[in-house]
Structure 1
Amino acid sequence: MAGEFNIGEEIIAGIKEVFSTMLMVDLQAEEVIENGECEISSNLTSMIGLGGGIRGMLAIHCPADVARGITSGLLGMEIQELDEDVKDAVGEVANMVAGNLKVSYAKNGIDIELAIPTSIVGDSFAVSGMADAHRVVAVMKAPEGPLWIELLFI
């Protein structure tokens, strides 16, 4: 189902490209976890539904400091709270990463469609669903702290 390419490497390449191009930030890849447990400490999650050749979702999970850093980088101003601008900024990053992944899949003959990003803000929440899905989580390090890019698909 995953084609002849490494999904974890494609996710890392996509998020690194977005951060270097849009935010002028060099992210560091920490690890890729496939179908295993991964503790995620997030105050903001932006998700994009995937359809077509694969069905699932791509999510970016980040603590408040990382979410504010992403937004500050995109807007060029200091951000204090997790407001609509922050949800929109992280949602746009998720959209760009999903777009990069869509291109990677297309090069391997798999067409996918992307939904509109949805963002969740809070201190204690869990994202669940798709019990039998494949799970790939790329753990990344931004200057403000860690972030997780998660792909769930069937």
Structure 2
Amino acid sequence: MNVGQAIIDATTEVFSTMLMVDLEVGETVEGKDGDIPANITSMIGLGKDIRGMLAVHCPAVVAKDITGSFLGMEVTELNEDVKDAIGEIANMVAGNMKVAFGEDGKNIEIAIPTTIIGDSFRTSGMAGAHRVAVYFTMNNEVFLIELKYICSSGD
């Protein structure tokens, strides 16, 4: 399975169907960690055949735009509504990834999202995990969907 393409398909489907937003797909980066343009990150743990973490990393402006699209109103601050909205995006993208991996014969369990807000933070995951990150643009602002994983039954 092409994990980068699965992230692209899952994310663009969520944004087009739930937010009525067409995203511009940017670079797919595999392996190396890089700068993450984020003030808010929502992470979901994955278990069973694919173990790891799916994360949605957004700068504040993107997180507020996403939330505003969900709520149908302008959002001016990073508040509980924003945390909930980005968590729900992570949940829906992870759900779509679960379906894609299921079609590839892999069973995935998805945890409840955890969302953090801040100006300077790092996430770390399991040693030896694969990393695939895809950059997207919404309203001329960049955000990132990242999957760090270990596949228990081969890649």
1:152 matches 2:153: no
Deviating runs (4+, > 2 A) in structure 1? none
- Higher mean C-alpha displacement, 29-38 vs 132-141: 29-38
Contact 1:74 1:89 in 2 (8 A): yes
* Residues 45-79 of structure 1: CA deviation (Å, up to 9, x unaligned): 00000000011000000000000000000010111
Cross-structure match for 1:143: 139
* 2:48 is the alignment partner of 1:80: no
Q: 2:24 aligns with which of 25, 28, 32?
A: 28
User: Is residue 95 of structure 2 the alignment partner of residue 99 of structure 1?
Assistant: yes
2:10 corresponds to 1:14: yes
Q: Which amino acid aligns with 2:70?
A: L
TM-score (norm 1): 0.95
**In structure 2, what is the equivalent of residue 112 of structure 1?**
108
In structure 1, C-alpha distance between the alignment counterparts of 2:140 and 2:60, rounded to whole Å: 9
Match of 2:46 in 1: 50
CA shift at 1:39, angstroms? 1.3
Is 1:60 the counterpart of 2:56? The answer is: yes
Distance in 2 between residues matched to 1:60 and 1:37, nearest whole Å: 15
Identity across matched positions, percent:
58
Give distance in 2, aligned partners of 1:41 and 1:138. Answer: 12
Q: CA deviation at 1:41?
A: 1.6
Aligned length: 150
TM-score of the superposed pair, with normalisation by structure 2? 0.95
| Amino acid across the alignment from 2:118 | G
- TM-superposed CA distance for 1:103, in Å, is 0.2
Structure 2: gaps of 5 or more residues: 151-155
* Cα distance in 1 for residues equivalent to 2:19 and 2:125: 31
Secondary structure at the aligned position of 2:50 is classed as: coil
Distance in 1 separating the partners of 2:96 and 2:2: 14
Q: How far did 1:36 drift?
A: 2.0
Contact 1:68 / 1:81 at 8 angstroms: preserved in 2?
A: yes
**RMSD, aligned α-carbons:** 0.8
Between the aligned partners of 1:88 and 1:149, the Cα distance in structure 2 is 17
- Output one character per residue of 1:118-137: Cα deviation in whole Å (capped at 9) or x when no partner: 00000000111212110000
Report the Cα distance in structure 2 between the residues aligned to 1:75 and 1:42, rounded to whole angstroms.
21
